[in-house]
Amino acid sequence: MNVFKPLSSAKSVVAPWLAALIVAGSAVAALAAGRVLHVDDVLQIKVVSQPDLDTSARIETDGTINFPYAGRIRAAGRTQDDVAAAIAQKLKQGEVVKDPRVLVEITTFGSQATVQGSVNQPGALPLDRETTLTQVLSRAGGLKEGAGDVIVRRKGKHGQQVLRYPSRALVTGKLDGSRIAIYNNDEIYVDEAPFFYLYGFVNRTGQYPLLRTMTVQQALATGGGVGPLGSDWRIRIKRRQEDGTMMEIPASLDDLVQPNDTIVVNERIF
């Protein structure tokens, strides 16, 4: 009897967990190899016990660095350990160092994204690791009150790409910002939410952010509701048209509010 014959049927049982281990092992190996390098990263390169070879190098626009006795080495798109191994091989082949041990550290990150607009700490942020939209906004101090859409501008193969995400959906978790990757040279702009205005016989007149789709009734509730002398049957909306002219229209409580609407509640007729 061939005792090894059942292994063919066991293959389907063993394969899934074996594949999972291979994937997990690959991920751990990738992390151990260091960060993937980008153009404009500044590297500190050391050859153990060879201080004369210690070098600081910036990755140039063609993706390479220049290292003494090794010449041009491609660095962009490779990990720190890959670059270290390439330099060590060149030094060994050139008989510069018999058994070189090379260490590569990043001193300045060339990969970055900018965050502007309605955030608490706008500016440029280095991308020292894989970074998501949630992390970038957090590092920029978070969204200001009344923040509107989050706009990501990115250069693509076919021109600029513009992605738009509602900030309210990000804050409430309806949209998972931790699954939205941010890349080198991304420009992130947080727009201010549009406003509407309440005037007349309401409890709290003034300007309010229009953070979501809202009816006139919901807008009035934001301002504390109709005042004692106001009438919810005598409401008008002043709305600016595309040609710049102002139109005043009667409104019901179920009508939708548009950006820059002025909702006027008139006095009750006794």
139 within a domain of the structure (yes/no): yes
Q: What is the pLDDT along the chain (270 residues), one digit of tens a residue?
A: 444 334 333 333 334 333 333 333 433 344 446 778 888 889 999 999 999 999 999 999 899 999 999 999 999 999 999 999 999 999 999 999 999 999 999 998 888 899 999 999 999 998 878 899 999 999 999 999 889 999 999 988 888 999 999 998 999 999 999 999 999 899 999 999 899 999 999 999 999 999 889 999 999 999 999 999 999 899 999 999 988 899 999 999 999 999 999 999 999 887
- 207 with 240, same domain: the answer is yes
| pLDDT, tens only, 83-128 | 999 999 999 999 999 999 999 999 988 888 999 999 999 999 988 7
216 within a domain of the structure (yes/no): yes
Length of the chain equals 270
- Report the alpha-carbon distance of residue 138 to residue 130 in Å, rounded: 15
4 within a domain of the structure (yes/no): no
160 within a domain of the structure (yes/no): yes
- 67 with 116, same domain: the answer is no
Cβ pair 197, 261 in contact under 8 A: yes
- Report the alpha-carbon distance of residue 71 to residue 102 in Å, rounded: 15
Strands 187-192 vs 112-117: parallel, antiparallel or unpaired: parallel
Q: Give the percent of the chain with pLDDT over 90.
A: 71
- 177 with 206, same domain: the answer is no
Range of the domain at 71: 42-108
Q: Report how many domains make up the chain.
A: 3
- Report the alpha-carbon distance of residue 255 to residue 55 in Å, rounded: 68
Cβ pair 166, 175 in contact under 8 A: yes
For residue 182, the SS3 value is strand
Q: Which helix (H) or strand (E) holds 199?
A: strand 195-200
For residue 202, the SS3 value is strand
- 84 with 144, same domain: the answer is no
Neighbours of 111 (CB within 10 A): 23
DSSP state letter for 226: B
Nearest to 199 by CA among 210, 191, 190, 208: 208
| pLDDT, tens only, 126-160 | 887 889 999 999 999 999 988 999 999 998 888 89
Q: Which of 88, 108, 128 is the last residue of a domain?
A: 108
Kindly calculate the radius of gyration of the chain based on its CA atoms and give it in whole angstroms: 30
What are the Cα distances from residue 85, in Å, to 126, 244, 252? 26, 65, 72
- 118 with 185, same domain: the answer is yes
pTM: 0.61
Which CATH number do you get for residue 51?
Answer: 3.30.1950.10
- Report the alpha-carbon distance of residue 162 to residue 187 in Å, rounded: 10
